[in-house]
Each structure stands twice: as structure tokens, then as C-alpha cells.
Structure 1
Amino acid sequence: MKLSIVLPAKNEAAAVGTTVTRIRALWPDVEILVVNDGSGDQTAAVAEAAGARVLHHPYSKGNGAAIKTGARAASGNVLVFMDADGQHDPADIPRLLQKLEHGHDMVVGARQKGSQASLGRGLANGLYNRLATWMTGNSVEDLTSGFRAARAEKFREFLYLLPNGFSYPTTSTMAFFRAGYSVAYVPIHAAKRIGKSHVRLLRDGTRFLLIIFKIGTLFSPLKIFAPVALLMFALASGWYGWTWWHQGRFTNMSALLYTGSVMVFLMGLISEQITALMYKDSSSDRR
């Protein structure tokens, strides 16, 4: 396999040089692409001096946009994505590639206990993993890990779906599952990052909560809409039974809940069809 390693980097001058050097020590001739996402420091110069090919964004477009830029420019048939901040150990890359050679299409480095940046983020990731496992019917060990290896032609199929922000790992994982591709996990330990995190709790908290809904809409919207519709139908029936027993009448609230349950269910059906269209074989469009 021909390997390309993509590192999105924004103001990572303190760590990117060491990361690139450690990769070069393992693979002297591998293609290393550092995507400089509008950094205001010496990230680009340090990465280039360490032996990486640097791609530039004229301004910060986001982590996901940097991933897309690197994936488009990479020449390898296998892409490895990892952070430039020192969290991911390049020595773990062979373990991901070994799993990939066993027939998988994407292999994700699953962070073990003690690797989460904070208790709150660890709890949130645990919730995402359980929800994604229920949605897909497959064990999802780390939905939001940015350390992963994937077959290039299959990863590029979903570039148009990837957001420009921080939730590209979620989107790519769910897209692979939806397309019927094989996803595997390798346990890793993520070290404490060098430098300051670009994630802000207040700014990005709501954005991360939206990941929960994105999980559903990317895989099977009906699995989200149907339980909500069923709950509304049950509430409508319960309220109708109570009012009929005590007042002998059918109330507007019951009618509203019944109508809402039908509308939510129909929205789920429509969303399911739209999702199916999103994943149609792109190769047929190029003929």
C-alpha cells in the first residue's frame, strides 16, 4: 500500500515539528501532508523544516476543511489522519495498517480510559458511542477519534458530506457504516496535547450536542423519528383515556398529539428516503 499521512494544524508550532520528525523516523519516504489552517504562528515553517509537505489555507476554515484539503491532495491509496498536537503516537500507525490489511475499509484508534481531555468530554463521547452503536447495530468504540486510517478511494466518496468543523470523525464513521463498509477499532492511548486546545466549551458545546442528531440523520433518521412519534402517540392515548374517563370527551390536546405523532413519523420516512439518495453510488454519476 502507498501511504499518505494527513495532519490538520492550526497554531501548532510547538508540536508539529516533533510529530513530523517522529513519523519520518518510522517512514523516511512516506508522504506527510500538513494542512496549515490559517495559522498565526510558525506552524508552516516548522512543519516544512521537519520534512512535511505543507498545504495552506489563507484563513482558518476548520479542522474538517483541513482534512478534506489533505485527502484531495494525497497521492497514497491509504490515508492516515492524526492530530499535529502530539496526542497521537505515530508508533500506533502500523497497528492501524495491519488491521486495514485484514480487509477493513477504515480503522479507528479508540482512546482508552485516561485518554479523554476532561471528564465531561469523556461522558459525552461515551453517550455518542452508545447511541451510534444502537443506530448502526455495530460496536462503536470511539466515534469522535481523529486518529484513523482509511482506504483513500472510499474516504473520498464522502468528502461532500464532511463538515468543515470538528465533527468530521463522526460523519465519516457513520457514512462508512451506512455505505456497508467495514470499520474496525484498535485501542490506543492519547497523550496530553502540547499547546492550547482549540475546542471551547461554551462555543462548541451546542455544536457537539448536534452530533447526536447528526448520528441519526446520517445513518437512519427513522430510528430517531419513530420513537419520538411512538412517544407522542402514547401520550395522546394516555391523555385521551384520562379525559374520557373523567370528563367523557376527546380534547384538543389529544388531537394535537395524535396529529403530531403522525407528522413526525412521516417526516422520518421522508428523511429516510433523502438519506438513501445521499449514499447512492457516486460512480454512476460520473458515467
Structure 2
Amino acid sequence: MRISIVLPAKNEAEGLRRTLPKLATCQPGAELIVVDDGSTDETAEVARQHGACVVSAPYSMGNGAAIKRGARAASGEIIVFMDADGQHDPAHVASLLRRMDEGYDMVVGARDASGQANVGRSAANGLYNHLASWMTGHRIADLTSGFRAVRADRFREFIHLLPNGFSYPTTSTMAFFRSAYSVAYVPIPVAKRLGRSHIKPMRDGVRFLLIIFKIATLYSPLKLFLPVSLGFFAVGLSYYAYTFATVGRFTNMSVLLFSAAVIVFLIGLISEQITGLTYLAARKEHD
């Protein structure tokens, strides 16, 4: 099968100088696509010098947007996404492809703790992995890894669901599990990146919190909303038992808590139906 390797790049000239020659050696028959996300350095020129196809944007649209543009431009039946900053060793592409040969629809390169940017990021990713594993019922070793191989036709089913920012790995992983497409994980070491990271702690701290809610809404909203609803109901019932025993009446606070339980449950139920319709529409649109 033809392989396309997509590298989103923003001011990654130095990383590409190291990564592209190794890719050409390790995967000589692969189509190399560098998506230049509004770079102000020599990213596009370096990519062309090393024989890569360059998809350029006049201004930066985000990592996820670059992934989408690269996926549309790719002609291969399997697409490998990897960083252009030198963190991902091109030699490990073969490990992902070997698992794809076993029939998987997506294979993700899972980083260990040493491959995380810092302790905070490592702890956050650990939380996401545990939450996503609970939501899906499958062990998810690395929810946010950007090093992954996918079957192109499967991936394009959900391309309009992908955000333009950095959380495309979360969205694509949960979409594949939701659609019963098989996902495997291959442990990989990650090198220190070349150049500066485009992730900003203050801005992306809020983004990481939103990822938690995205995990639920992309897979099964009711699985998150139902426990919250039951929590409100349990607190309301306990408070009612307390007030009935002490003052002998049903208080407004109990009404409020019971109402919150019903509202949260209904929101989860409606969200579940919307999620199902979203994936159904995605499948029909792709077909």
C-alpha cells in the first residue's frame, strides 16, 4: 500500500533538515508532505530541497488545520502523522506500519514519562488517558500523541470534526473508538524537540480542561452526565432526609438539587443523541 507521511510545520526549518533525510532513508517509497502553517523562516524551502511536497498556508491556522490540509493532499492509503521538530524518530514509522499490517485502523506511538514536555504535562496526559480509557472501555496508552498511522479513508470520515488547534489527536482517537474502528499502541521514545514549543501554559491550561469535556462529548456524553446527575440526586435526597428529621419539611434546597439532577440527566441524554447523529452524518457524508 502507498504510504503518505504528513508533517505539520510552523517555523521548523532546523527540525526538517534533520527529519526529512532520515525519512527518505527509512521510507524511500513514501510520499512526504510538509504542511507549512504560515512559517516565517525557511520551512517551505527546506522541505522542497529534500523532495517533499509542500502545502502552504498564507497565515497560521493551527496544528489541527495543518493536519486536515495534509490529509486532504495525501494520496496514500495509509497516512502517517508525525512532528517536524525532530521529536519523532523516522525509524519508528516502520513499527507503526507493522501493526497496521495486522489489520488495525489506527496505530499510535505512545510516549513514556520521559517523552513528556514537563511534569505538569505528564500528569495532565495521565489524567486524560485514564478518563478516556474509562469512557471507551479500552486501555488508551497515549491520548494526545501526534505520532500515529491511520487508514486514510477511515480518517477522512471525521476530518470535519477535527479542531484547528492542538487537540486533533484526542478527537480522532475518540472518533475511531466511537465508530468501532480498531486502535493499537506502540511504545516509542521521544527526543527533545528542536526550537521553541508553540504550546503556552496559561492559554493551553484552559484548553486541556476543555479536552476533558471533549473526551466525553466525543464518545458517550451520558456516561459523564449520568454520574453527575446521580450525585445531585443523592445530595438532594440526603438533604431532604436531614431537613425532614430536623424541621419536618421539604425545603427549597432539596427541590433545587432534585431539579438539577433531572436537568443534568436530560442534557446528557440529548447530548448522547446529538453525538450519535453527528457520527451518522459523518458516515453518510463520507460514503
2:2, 2:78 within 8 Å by CA — same for their partners in 1?
yes
**How many residue pairs were aligned?**
287
Is the aligned partner of 1:60 residue 2:60?
A: yes
- Provide the rounded CA distance (Å) in 2 between the counterparts of 1:81 and 1:285: 24
Shift of 1:18: 1.3
Which amino acid in structure 2 is aligned with residue 78 of structure 1?
Answer: I
Is the aligned partner of 1:75 residue 2:75?
A: yes
Counting only pairs closer than 5 Å after superposition, residues 173-212 of structure 1 correspond to structure 2 as 173-212=173-212
SS at match of 1:131: helix
2:8, 2:36 within 8 Å by CA — same for their partners in 1?
yes
**TM-superposition CA deviations, 1:171-193 (whole Å, max 9, x none):** 00000000000000000001110
Residue in 2 aligned with 1:247? 247
> Post-superposition, which runs of at least 4 consecutive aligned residues in structure 1 deviate over 3 A?
281-287
Is the aligned partner of 1:119 residue 2:153?
A: no
1:6, 1:70 within 8 Å by CA — same for their partners in 2?
yes
**TM-superposition CA deviations, 1:59-95 (whole Å, max 9, x none):** 0000000000000000000000000000001100111
SS at match of 2:13: coil
Counting only pairs closer than 5 Å after superposition, residues 147-162 of structure 1 correspond to structure 2 as 147-162=147-162
Structure 1's 155 and 63: CA in aligned 2 closer, same or farther, altered over 3 A?
same
- Provide the rounded CA distance (Å) in 1 between the counterparts of 2:51 and 2:85: 16
SS at match of 2:185: strand
Shift of 1:283: 5.2
- Provide the rounded CA distance (Å) in 1 between the counterparts of 2:265 and 2:278: 20
Shift of 1:47: 1.3
Which amino acid in structure 2 is aligned with residue 269 of structure 1?
Answer: L
1:125, 1:142 within 8 Å by CA — same for their partners in 2?
yes
Which amino acid in structure 1 is aligned with residue 129 of structure 2?
Answer: N
Is the aligned partner of 1:136 residue 2:136?
A: yes
Which amino acid in structure 1 is aligned with residue 112 of structure 2?
Answer: Q
- Provide the rounded CA distance (Å) in 2 between the counterparts of 1:233 and 1:120: 34
Structure 2 segments unaligned to the other structure (5+ residues)? none
SS at match of 1:35: strand
Q: TM-score normalised to the size of structure 1?
A: 0.98
2:32, 2:53 within 8 Å by CA — same for their partners in 1?
yes
Structure 1's 227 and 35: CA in aligned 2 closer, same or farther, altered over 3 A?
same
- Provide the rounded CA distance (Å) in 1 between the counterparts of 2:115 and 2:11: 22
Which amino acid in structure 2 is aligned with residue 49 of structure 1?
Answer: Q
Residue in 1 aligned with 2:266? 266
Shift of 1:16: 1.2
- Provide the rounded CA distance (Å) in 2 between the counterparts of 1:140 and 1:157: 21
SS at match of 1:6: strand
- Provide the rounded CA distance (Å) in 2 between the counterparts of 1:99 and 1:86: 23
- Provide the rounded CA distance (Å) in 1 between the counterparts of 2:255 and 2:281: 42
SS at match of 2:280: coil
**TM-superposition CA deviations, 1:242-262 (whole Å, max 9, x none):** 111111111101000101100
Shift of 1:27: 2.3
1:21, 1:51 within 8 Å by CA — same for their partners in 2?
no
Q: Tell me which moved more, 7-16 or 138-147.
A: 7-16
Structure 1's 2 and 286: CA in aligned 2 closer, same or farther, altered over 3 A?
closer
- Provide the rounded CA distance (Å) in 1 between the counterparts of 2:286 and 2:159: 16
Shift of 1:107: 0.1
- Provide the rounded CA distance (Å) in 2 between the counterparts of 1:46 and 1:118: 30
Q: Aligned-pair RMSD on alpha carbons?
A: 1.1
- Provide the rounded CA distance (Å) in 2 between the counterparts of 1:164 and 1:86: 22
SS at match of 1:114: helix
- Provide the rounded CA distance (Å) in 2 between the counterparts of 1:27 and 1:268: 46
Which amino acid in structure 2 is aligned with residue 93 of structure 1?
Answer: V
**TM-superposition CA deviations, 1:12-49 (whole Å, max 9, x none):** 11111211111001123321000000011111111111
SS at match of 1:14: helix
Structure 1's 261 and 128: CA in aligned 2 closer, same or farther, altered over 3 A?
same
- Provide the rounded CA distance (Å) in 2 between the counterparts of 1:284 and 1:152: 16
- Provide the rounded CA distance (Å) in 2 between the counterparts of 1:253 and 1:281: 42
- Provide the rounded CA distance (Å) in 2 between the counterparts of 1:26 and 1:139: 30
1:107, 1:148 within 8 Å by CA — same for their partners in 2?
yes
Shift of 1:285: 4.3
**TM-superposition CA deviations, 1:210-246 (whole Å, max 9, x none):** 0000000000000110010000000101111111111
2:157, 2:283 within 8 Å by CA — same for their partners in 1?
no
The percent identity for this pair of structures is 62
